[in-house]
Amino acid sequence: MTTLITLPDTGDVVSTVPKRLFIAGAWVDALAGDTLPVEDPATGEVLCHVADGRAEDGQRAVAAAVAAQAEWARTAPRARSEILRRAYEIVLSRTDELARLMTLEMGKPLAEARGEVAYAAEFLRWFSEEAVRVEGGFATLPDGRNRMLLMRQPVGPCLLITPWNFPLAMGARKIGPAVAAGCTMVLKPAPQTPLSSLALAEILAEAGLPAGVLNVVPTSRAGEVVEPLLRGGQIRKLSFTGSTQVGRILLAQCAEKVVRPSMELGGNAPFIVFDDADLDTAVAGAMVAKMRNMGEACTAANRFFVHRSVADEFAARLAERMGALVVGPGTQPGVDVGPLIDRTGRGKVEELVADAVAHGARVLVGGVVPDGPGYFYPPTVLAGVADDSQLLRTEIFGPVAAILTFDDEDDIVSVANDTEWGLVGYVFTRDLDRALRVSERLEVGMVGLNTGLVSNPAAPFGGVKQSGLGREGGRVGIDEFLEYKYVAVPV
């Protein structure tokens, strides 16, 4: 594999990361010899090429995972725990290089990439701790004549599919619990960002993960590779993070062999600011909930509902903060906002803003695509967004805050819930009764109460409605990778 361009102080990071498939503990080329290009979204230039798996490579990876499963399930939990703990330490010790790699392939500013390295590492540490806390049960049943022995066992070989927006953390959030539970796995990263996953696989191997437990197959032919694996009968679990649209397709494919699914899908988060909110806190929360990852987050605030009495002030203050952000290549010091992932992603944001403006929205700041290379879009605030604007029913996935006003609590909770998604909602108020009442009524899996950040490895992450099935992280994260077995024992 060749590195096509060498950036002054970053070419080393790209050139040293493995660029082949990782199967049965070995770095191998795709059988057909294909490669796929990895682009730097800040320049549109090709950074390097990585091996591009086809269906037969997916089958090889599953065969390796299946072959390793029985022995891996017998490994002592402490041994699995210590592999994850070593991986946690190696990831942290390589923070700078992993952050730079992620910034190059995905675009986020270095400071955010460093934050993601810490976040990803924390999943490895959390699940190293959970690996030794898996408990079954024993009980005398109510009839007094029978006993119940309850065992926890790994679900079996898993398929993990990750998106491009958090390339390291989404992999770690799945690999951590799968390793802890004693499952083997095949990881298919997003084709835009395979390098972070390949680097993570190398680290896990260095930490002592046995051959075949983790296999990685980047591919530009996701459907062609994944469908036969889900229909093949050997994969016992799918853990998917990505769009609701693709999640639906994969759920249908899981149905044939009754593959157990976990789905972390899209969102359409409401961000509700009541008239009694502390506006400093609300604006600070909005900056995080909107601008983390340039707005390319499933948790991104998509619809801002602000009480009419504070809407103008909130909008003005948010526009001032958004307008002061520095847009540029994420590798450069002082940059707050990197490029969007690709031309398609940016084009979608442009269309959504144009549609909102056509329906009467006022652009308070931003809204104009800068000249030059890369897929940059400026931080944008839209006020007076009309109810029938498309961006209220679509994940914007960009740095655009769409503000609407409201008068009544009951009405706004109904409007906030009027969406097929239910991942997260944000509520800003100083009234404790209202805070709890609205948190209970929002149809979401997570609520940020006077905060714009909910993600934490120790908390169960996930959504309701069409935002997903199951939870990642927290005490329950490992359950997704474990089965119960009940043994009946007469007294």
What residues are labeled active site?
264, 298
Residue 226 binding ligand NAP, by CB under 6 A? yes
Contact (Cβ atoms closer than 8 angstroms) between residue 280 and residue 288 = no
Residue 311 binding ligand NAP, by CB under 6 A? no
Phi/psi zone of residue 207: left (φ > 0), alpha (ψ -120 to 50 degrees), beta? alpha
Q: What's phi and psi for 397, nearest 5 deg?
A: 55, 45
Residue nearest to ligand NAP (CB): 242
Helix segments in 136-243, DSSP class H: 169-181, 194-206, 222-231
CB of 182 or CB of 338, closer to ligand NAP: 338
**Part of the chain binding ligand NAP (CB under 6 A), chosen from 64-72, 263-271, 282-290, 433-441:** 263-271
Alpha carbons 251 and 391: distance in angstroms, whole number = 26
Binding flags for ligand NAP, 266-305, as an x/- string (CB under 6 A): xx------------------------------x-------
Alpha carbons 132 and 154: distance in angstroms, whole number = 13
Contact (Cβ atoms closer than 8 angstroms) between residue 422 and residue 464 = yes
Alpha carbons 349 and 282: distance in angstroms, whole number = 24
Residue 312: CB minimum distance to ligand NAP, A: 30
The binder of ligand NAP chosen from 137, 223, 233, 360 (CB under 6 A): 223
Amino acid at 210: P
Amino acid at 354: A
Contact (Cβ atoms closer than 8 angstroms) between residue 1 and residue 35 = yes
Residue 423: CB minimum distance to ligand NAP, A: 6
**Part of the chain binding ligand NAP (CB under 6 A), chosen from 101-109, 243-251, 315-323, 429-437:** 243-251
Residue 161 binding ligand NAP, by CB under 6 A? yes
**Part of the chain binding ligand NAP (CB under 6 A), chosen from 12-20, 155-163, 409-417, 427-435:** 155-163
The binder of ligand NAP chosen from 175, 179, 190, 311 (CB under 6 A): 190
Annotate 76-108 with DSSP letters as a single string: -HHHHHHHHHHHHHHHHHTHHHHHHHHHHHH--
The binder of ligand NAP chosen from 11, 18, 191, 228 (CB under 6 A): 191
Residue 91 binding ligand NAP, by CB under 6 A? no
Residues near 357 by Cβ (< 8 Å), separated by ≥ 6?
363, 367, 382
Residues near 473 by Cβ (< 8 Å), separated by ≥ 6?
123, 126, 173, 456, 457, 458, 459, 460, 461
Residues 450-479 that bind ligand NAP (CB under 6 A): 468
**How many alpha carbons fall within 13 Å on the CB side of residue 360?**
7
**Part of the chain binding ligand NAP (CB under 6 A), chosen from 127-135, 146-154, 183-191, 312-320:** 183-191
The binder of ligand NAP chosen from 178, 246, 282, 301 (CB under 6 A): 246
Residues near 386 by Cβ (< 8 Å), separated by ≥ 6?
356, 359, 360, 361
The binder of ligand NAP chosen from 3, 15, 234, 243 (CB under 6 A): 243
**Part of the chain binding ligand NAP (CB under 6 A), chosen from 53-61, 66-74, 188-196, 446-454:** 188-196
CB of 183 or CB of 226, closer to ligand NAP: 226
Residue 188: CB minimum distance to ligand NAP, A: 6
How many residues are listed for the chain in this entry? 491
Residue 241 binding ligand NAP, by CB under 6 A? yes
Residue 477: CB minimum distance to ligand NAP, A: 12
The binder of ligand NAP chosen from 58, 176, 242, 285 (CB under 6 A): 242
- Cβ burial of 371 (10 Å; 0-12, 13-18, 19+) is exposed
Residue 105 binding ligand NAP, by CB under 6 A? no
Residue 395 binding ligand NAP, by CB under 6 A? yes
Amino acid at 371: D
Residue 164: CB minimum distance to ligand NAP, A: 5
Six-digit token pair at 198? 């390949």
The count of residues interacting with ligand NAP (CB under 6 A) is 26
Residue 35 binding ligand NAP, by CB under 6 A? no
- Cβ burial of 27 (10 Å; 0-12, 13-18, 19+) is middle
Residue 476: CB minimum distance to ligand NAP, A: 14
Binding footprint of ligand NAP on the chain (CB under 6 A): 161-166, 188, 190-191, 222-223, 226, 241-243, 246, 249-250, 264-267, 298, 395, 423, 468
